[in-house]
Amino acid sequence: MVALQILIDGFAISSLYALGAVGFTLMFGVSGVLNLAHGGIMVVAAVIGWLAAGDLGLGVYLGTLVGIIAGMLCAYLTYYVVVRPIQRSPAIPHEETEIFVLTGTLLWGIMIQEAIAYLFTDNPVTTRPLISGVTTIAGVRTPHNEILIAVICWVVIGLLWLLVNRTRAGKALLAASMNPRGLTLLGFELSNMYLLVWTIYGVLAGIAGVLLASFLGVSSANAGQLTASAFSIVVLGGLGSVSGSLVAAYLVGYLETITAYLVAPTLRPIPALLLLVLVIYLRPQGLLGRR
Amino acid sequence: MPMSCATPLSTRLMRRLLLAGTAAAALGLVGSAYAAEPIKIGVIGEESSVAGASLTKAAQMAADEINAAGGVNGSKIEIITYDDHSSAADAVRAFQRAVNQDKVKAVVATYISEVALAIEPWSARLHMPLITAGAASTDIPKHVHDDYAHYKYTFQGWLNSAFIAQSICDAEHDMLVGPYHMRSTVVMSEDAAWTKPLDEKFLECLPKAGLKVLDHIRFNPDTTDFTPIYNKIEGEHPDVITTGISHVGVQPTVQWHDQQVPIAMAGQSSQATTSSFWKDTNGAAEGVITATASAPGVAITPKTVPFTEKYTKRFGDTPAYVGYSTYDIIHVLADAIKRAGSTNPDKMVDALEKTDYVGTIGRIKFYGKNEQYTHGLEYGKGLVTGIDIQWQNGKQVAVWPANVAQAKLVFPAFVKLPQQAASK
Amino acid sequence: MFAQIIRSRPLWIGLAVAGIAALLPLWLSAYILGILTAAYYFGVFAMAWDLLFGFAGEVNFGPTFLIGLGAYTAAILDNEWGLPIVVCIIAGAIVAVVGGLLLALPALRLRGPYFGLVTLVAVLLLQNAIVIFAGVTGGEIGMTVPDVLSIDATTNYWYALVFLVVCALILFGLSRSAIGLILQASGQDAIEAQALGFNVTKHKLAAFIISALFSGVAGAMLVFYLGTASVDQVIDIGIDVQIIIAAVLGGRRTILGGVLGAIFLIVATEFLRPLGQLNTFVVAAVALAVILFVPDGILGYALRRGERQ
């Protein structure tokens, strides 16, 4: 009984982790940017979605959509206000660009977090479940919403896979991650590529944010933790490897769930962190990453 | 013969002049006293938390009232607020700034125990009267008891955890054991300074109240996923979950509701004492029982309801539990300064110890030097006990003690009760 | 080598400024002295970071890992066993150095963004460890230590100032010494440096250890100044960013610039205090603007202008 419970709960939380991590790693893989404002963008999507659904009276479904769009817009803002200016700045030597982008996005993330805390307090917001009520699967009582969230995550990941592997734009993205200069030689505009990847990233982060608000609830205080979590999973799986992030997300999600159920709720994050330490020492490029 | 006729004109004139002169002098004195230095009180709160924000608002309201009535010993009260961002280190800095830069005469601070414990030693080092507004750790008065000479400047303005737990045990006995025949419970609390003595007391008084404690679960204050915890609790089949939560509140409540955990929730849930809780949980708060200072419409003393109404009118939200206590604390401070006739720290401490003031939370007195919780708020019938409320249809309804109860308990449909209360 | 150091202009200007700073307690209020005290400790954090980055070319995204180790070791030792302050600080330094070694050994093998990421992950790990063992460490909100360096603001100020000057002299001296030049070479072109026969890894490791030592001691001293140790003061990504900003603002690869940047940052935060909740937002925004528009920093810009003349 407990085993089935763990299986189901672990699956739901892992799917949510996966969605967040996939966007993060895609961003790095294609454009070399480690966006440390990731958690902030998720929180923006969550809070705007909650606001739209409740205070603006749009209801759950429309509100969720508004939240996702807000996430996407926030991602654009991140690109145009922070990342692109740093990448193009003549005053920053080329080998230091990455560091400045990291620091810049970190600062931007802090700004987002503080702005939300100021406007909405750091109280967690929860959106109403997309589908309310519970169902019983082989004796395990599960909210409908939890099942829906897992399904949505996989649909989105599936769509992403289709995009990257079956469409022209998607294949160009993949090429850009391997050889940006080669791509320009073929006549592709790199700036269009970057716009595309930021759009995809924004939508992914937005969906992850609103789903999190619906499943567990989100507050501005979570922004840092969400970034840290996505980022640990991505390092574990291998920077730039989407399949690595998926595997790592489920590894971490299940490790956490098993610990919470079978050991103690207080020790929940430990096994995943220990795994991370181990991987850093033994295989720093991650489980499925390339050196 | 009548005296007045025999009094010479000069004497009458002299007497009148003397009277006029004295009156003028008195007016002059009073007038100059109004132009005197304001008495500054530092208030350290947590602006980005719903509970912490009501601290500073209530303090300002109390100060405005006192000033409108003429101030204290002729001086106005000036509230200087600080935001400690829920951080002990920021609170220490704010405290130092209040004392060294802004020259306050007293500090009222925080509802977080870890923060209160961080500034308590500074209150001792800098000889600055400090009254905590909501922090419940029993270590706060214990430090005063163990080293009175140094720590005597600190007072605790709300009930400590041991008394909160006792109050909850009494409430659960009256409300749940009797009418609903509940026999068992699981204690679920966040791992924080204030819950250690809370849980200790729970484990002692709950069995005496008639509830066997089946398990005792402590979780990380930054837990976001409560599913494993609820599943574990459900596997043990208690009749009620007794909570000790303050840092979290929205998420466990929403998840309790969404997962339809079939067990009632009661105890202390600080976030549930704020009026925005219903909206924050999208109504998942229905049926949640929590201990608190007061609620709209509940008249613990004749001052309670007027305060609640005035606060709500001015700020748009009902006060959190720490709002009631802070409002009273400012009045208590003003009263002590008045009786002491000065803002000298040692004299203020003496005057505070003799406090016997009826505020919104009850009759406020502090324990003395030789009692266990020196300078803690006195607990008991006729003093301060707190009340229990239950969220019903978007409103906080008082359900305990019997003399302030506004309605009977109502539980959501998914909660399984051992026996429905006999309808009365 | 000594001659070169003594002839260096920034050094003399720095000493003159330090002299003036020592006299400030005659005029400034206790509270402002407190702000400067905190700024001086922050200055040491920034200088230690610049040694690693500016000279060894390694971006440490988690200086608070080292600072936190020093700080919490000292705090726990004082809280649990009441050891004298000096012992606690030395213990903090040792733990920070050990931690630095444990971090550096695997991390220095990595290239590209991985090193920075690993240092960031180290901070997260330490944060989680502190929160999980909340019983001993006070968890998220922090713990109090029974002893402080001093209650008197002026005394605290002088402790901090002397500490800052000593650290500045040592770190600056290192940066201008033979070791410093090798570090600079390793940072800018490791292959060349190795070709010239220098053991790059050994030198970078040394830089890491020195950085750890200073960070650890400064962290411990900060705790005994504040009387509290809390995660968001000494083990926080936000603080990491501020340290990097301070060093960048002051001028990368100048060591002394870190002090300028730290003072500017802390004074600015204090200045913006009336904004209440929003002051973190504004400071972050200003820092972002600095990165975007003046990445060379104050001292960097000044030195460059000086060179051109």
Q: For chains A and B, what is the number of CB pairs under 8 angstroms?
A: 82
Each residue's pLDDT tens digit, C168-210: 888 888 888 887 787 777 767 767 777 777 777 788 888 889 9
pLDDT value for C4: 60
**Residue A168 within any structural domain of the chain:** yes
Choose among B229, B53, B248: nearest CA to A124: B248
Closest residue of A to B261, CA-based? A141
DSSP 3-state of A151: helix
| Chain B partners (3+ C-beta pairs within 8 A) | A, C
DSSP 3-state of B406: coil
How far, in Å, CA of A23 to CA of A222, rounded?
A: 18
- The CA dihedral of A114, B314, B84, B195, to the nearest 10 degrees, is -110
How far, in Å, CA of A210 to CA of A49, rounded?
A: 6
CA angle B103, B94, C288 (to 5 degrees): 130
Residue contact C31–B100, C-beta within 8 A? yes
**Residue A201 within any structural domain of the chain:** yes
| Topology, domain B162-292+393-400 | Rossmann fold (3.40.50)
Closest residue of B to C37, CA-based? B93
C53 contacts C281 by C-beta, under 8 angstroms: no
**Residue A85 within any structural domain of the chain:** yes
Per DSSP, which regions of B89-237 are E strands?
106-109, 130-132, 154-156, 184-190, 212-219
How far, in Å, CA of C97 to CA of C91, rounded?
A: 10
How far, in Å, CA of A66 to CA of A206, rounded?
A: 9
pLDDT value for B34: 47
Which residues does chain C have within 8 Å of residue B47's beta carbon, measured at their own beta carbons?
276-277
This model of the complex carries an ipTM of: 0.81
Distance from CA of A255 to the nearest CA of B (A): 13
pLDDT value for B3: 43
Is C136 an 8 Å CB contact of chain A?
A: no
Is C296 an 8 Å CB contact of chain A?
A: yes
- Report residue B390 as tokens: 């239950």
DSSP 3-state of B343: coil
How far, in Å, CA of B346 to CA of B106, rounded?
A: 12
Which residues does chain C have within 8 Å of residue A89's beta carbon, measured at their own beta carbons?
292, 295
Per DSSP, which regions of chain C are E strands?
143-144, 228-229
How far, in Å, CA of B58 to CA of A282, rounded?
A: 56
Determine the distance from the C-alpha atom of residue A103 to the mean position of all C-alpha atoms in its chain, rounded to a whole number.
19
Burial class (CB in 10 A: 0-12, 13-18, 19+), B195: buried
Of A125, A127, A266, Cβ closest to residue B191: A266
Residue contact B220–A266, C-beta within 8 A? yes
B329 contacts B108 by C-beta, under 8 angstroms: yes
CA angle C166, C169, C171 (to 5 degrees): 105
**Mean pLDDT computed over A253-268:** 85
Residues of chain B with CATH 3.40.50.2300: 39-158+302-364, 162-292+393-400
CA angle B322, B324, B327 (to 5 degrees): 105
**Residue A58 within any structural domain of the chain:** yes
How far, in Å, CA of A41 to CA of A35, rounded?
A: 10
Place B11 in a pLDDT band, splitting at 50, 70 and 90. low
Each residue's pLDDT tens digit, C235-279: 887 788 888 888 888 888 888 888 988 998 888 887 777 776 677
Q: Which residue type occupies B65?
A: E
Interface test with B, best of A125, A216, A222 (most B CBs within 10 A): A216
Q: What is the domain range of residue A216?
A: 19-220
Percentage of chain C lying above the pLDDT 90 cut: 19
Helices (H) and strands (E) in chain C, counts: 17, 2
Of C30, C146, C229, Cβ closest to residue B100: C30
Interface test with C, best of A103, A233, A279 (most C CBs within 10 A): A103
Which residues does chain A have within 8 Å of residue B227's beta carbon, measured at their own beta carbons?
9
Domain boundaries, chain C: 2-308
| Topology, domain C2-308 | ABC transporter involved in vitamin B12 uptake, BtuC (1.10.3470)
Specify the pairing of strand B130-132 against strand B154-156: parallel
Residue contact B88–C31, C-beta within 8 A? no
- 3-state DSSP percent of chain B in helix, strand and coil, to 5: 45, 20, 35
**Dmax over Cα atoms in chain C, in whole Å?**
59
A63 contacts A50 by C-beta, under 8 angstroms: yes
Q: What is the CA radius of gyration of chain A?
A: 19
Instruction: Give how many domains chain A has, as a whole number.
Output: 1
pLDDT value for B8: 55
- Confidence check: pLDDT of B28 > 50: no
Which residues does chain B have within 8 Å of residue C224's beta carbon, measured at their own beta carbons?
none
Place B37 in a pLDDT band, splitting at 50, 70 and 90. confident
Residue contact B101–C138, C-beta within 8 A? no
Percentage of chain B lying above the pLDDT 70 cut: 90
**Residue A60 within any structural domain of the chain:** yes
What average pLDDT does chain C have? Answer: 82
**Residue A272 within any structural domain of the chain:** no
What does DSSP assign to residue B411? -
Place C141 in a pLDDT band, splitting at 50, 70 and 90. low
pLDDT value for C276: 67
| Chain A partners (3+ C-beta pairs within 8 A) | B, C
B39-158+302-364: CATH, from 1.10.10.10, 3.40.190.10, 3.40.50.970, 3.40.50.2300: 3.40.50.2300
Residue contact A92–C121, C-beta within 8 A? no
Q: Of residues A164 and A81, which shows the higher confidence score?
A: A81
- Confidence check: pLDDT of B27 > 50: no
- The CA dihedral of A241, A245, A246, A250, to the nearest 10 degrees, is 150
Q: A143: Cβ–Cβ under 8 A, 6 or more apart, which residues? A: A129, A132, A133, A134, A135, B258, B259, B260
pLDDT value for C2: 61
**Residue A275 within any structural domain of the chain:** no
Which residues does chain A have within 8 Å of residue C107's beta carbon, measured at their own beta carbons?
280
What average pLDDT does chain B have? Answer: 88
Q: B73: Cβ–Cβ under 8 A, 6 or more apart, which residues? A: B33, B337, B338, B341
**Mean pLDDT computed over A123-138:** 83
Closest residue of B to A120, CA-based? B48
Interface test with C, best of B95, B96, B194 (most C CBs within 10 A): B96
Residue contact A2–B231, C-beta within 8 A? yes
Is B125 an 8 Å CB contact of chain C?
A: yes
Q: Which residue has the tokens 């509230």?
A: B79
Distance from CA of B28 to the nearest CA of C (A): 35
**Residue A257 within any structural domain of the chain:** no
How far, in Å, CA of C164 to CA of B290, rounded?
A: 51
Is C134 an 8 Å CB contact of chain B?
A: yes
- Residues of chain A whose C-beta is under 8 A from some C-beta in B? 2, 5, 9, 13, 54, 117-118, 121-129, 132, 134, 141, 143, 145, 216-217, 219-220, 222, 225, 257, 260-261, 265-266, 268
DSSP calls for B8-51: -HHHHHHHHHHHHHHHHHHHHHHHHHHTSPPEEEEEEE-TTSHH
